[in-house]
Amino acid sequence: MTNFQVLHTDPRYPARLGLLMTAHGKVETPAFMPVGTCGAVKGITPRQLKETGADIILANTYHLLLRPGIDAVEKLGGLHKFMAWDKPIITDSGGYQIFSLSPLTKVDDNGVEFASHIDGAKTYLTADTVINAQNRFGADIITCLDQCTPFPVETTELRRAVQRTILWAKQAKQVHSNSSQLLFAIVQGGIDQKLRTYCVSELVKLDFDGYAIGGMSVGEGYDNMIRTVVHTTQLLPVDKPRYLMGVGTPADIISAVKAGVDMFDCVLPTRNGRNAFAFTENGPVRMRNTAHINATEPIERGCDCCCCRDFSRGTIRHFFNSDEMLGPILVSLHNLRFYQRLMAKIRQTIKADEFANWADEQLRKYEVFDSLKKVSGK
C-alpha cells in the first residue's frame, strides 16, 4: 500500500488534495506543520496545539542532539512520549543549520562540524549519524542531511552543495533502518533551474518516500522562490508528497499549493505571535498599536480560537505592554489556528473545484496588503 494518495486535483492548477499515511496516523494535505524545534512549540501545550487543528508537527534533529541528547530522548520514551504528542512528527535533519549557523560550521563531503551555539563544543554530523539519530528518535517522517546555501551564492559553491546533498541522500538511503518511518530526500540548487533539475533527477532515481524542496526563503525574494518552486514541483513524482521547507507567509503557501506542494512548516505563526503580530483574513494586525487601547473586538471576528473567543484587542495589547506572558501565548495560538483554518479552506476549495478562483482572489488581496504597507511605511 502506498503511503500517499492524491485524492483530487484542481482543474486549473496542479494543486491537489491528498492523504499521507504514517505510523501515528493520517495527515490530510495540503498541510501546515507547526515548528517545535527543540521538542516543543514555544509557549503552547500539546493539547492546545491539537485544538488549533494541527495533525503533524516538526522537531529538529540538530537541536535535539545537542540537548537533551539522543540517549535522554530514548530513556524518556522516544520522541512522541518526550513531546507528549501522539500524532505524526517529522524531523528536519539539521541541513538548514549549515546555513543559519554558518559561522560555526565546517563542511566537506564527509559531513558537517558544528561548534555548538550553546557552549562551543564540537559536534560532527554525517549522513549516517543523522539518519541513525532520527531512527532512534522515532519520528514518523525523517529527512536526509542536505546542504542549504545562502542567497546569493557563488555557482561553484552551489554546485558543490548539490553534489553533497545527492551524495548524502544516497548514504542515507543505505543506512535507514526503521521501516515504520518515511524517508524524505531534500532538493537543493538555489534558484538555478538546471541544478534543481539535476538534483531532482538524481534523487528520484533513489525512490524516496517523499521529496522536500529546501534552500528557499533564504533571501531570494518571493518571485524567485515561487519560480523555483513551480519549476521543481513539476519535476517531482506525482505519487509522492512534496514538502516546501521553512515557508512561509499565507501568500507563499497559497502560491506554492497552486504549484502542487503538499506540506509546509514555518516559525512565522509563533515567532510573529510572540512579537504581537497577528495574522487575519483582512491583513496583519500589530497588537501593540495604540489604536487597540480601548478596542473591545477580538483580533479577528469569526475566528474560533480561544484568544478570539475570550479576549479583546485592548486586553491583549495590555498583556504585551505589561510583559505578561499570556499576550504572546494568545497571539501565537490565534496565528496557529489562522494557519490551520487557511489550510482547511485550501483543502475545501480544491475538493469543490473552487481553488483556482479563490486562490487568485486571495493573492490579489495580499498584493493590496503589501501595497498599503509600502505606502504607509509600516
Catalytic residues: 92, 265
- Kindly state the cell numbers that stand for 81: 512520549
The distance from CA 365 to its chain's CA centroid, rounded to whole angstroms, is 23
290 is written with which cell numbers? 495604540
Q: How many CA atoms lie within 13 A of 139 on its CB side?
A: 28
Q: On the CB side of 250, how many CA atoms lie within 13 Å of its CA?
A: 32
Closest CA to 162 of 122, 215, 123, 112: 215
Written as one letter, the residue type at 109 is D
Whose CA is closest to 54, among 257, 265, 262? 265
* The three grid cell numbers given for residue 200, joined into one nine-digit string: 531532482
Task: State the alpha helices, DSSP H only, in 222-351.
Answer: 222-233, 250-259, 268-274, 306-310, 313-321, 326-351
